[in-house]
Amino acid sequence: MANNNRIVVPEARAALDQLKLEIASELGMSNYDNMDKGNLTSRQNGYVGGYMVKKLVESAQNQMAGK
């Protein structure tokens, strides 16, 4: 299976990492950066990624709508 999780715009890495930490914190995973992700359930890890996508799509839609 190919790894499609590469960042297309490398300059965005820091912002994406910050967004990931903010969302994990909102979901009650306050020390997400230092957690062993292997000890988290797939559901917990999936929530972080899912909410990241949701926020990014919302941001893009607002930008397209001129908000």
Burial classification of residue 21, based on how many CB atoms lie within 10 Å of its CB (0-12 exposed, 13-18 middle, 19 or more buried):
middle
pLDDT tens per residue, range 1-37: 556 677 788 898 899 999 999 999 999 998 898 888 8
Other beta carbons within 10 Å of 23: 19
C-alpha to C-alpha distance for 67 and 54, rounded to whole angstroms: 17
What's the confidence (pLDDT) of residue 53?
94
pTM here is 0.76
- 35 is written with which tokens? 């957690």
What's the confidence (pLDDT) of residue 37?
85
Average pLDDT of the segment spanning 54-63: 94
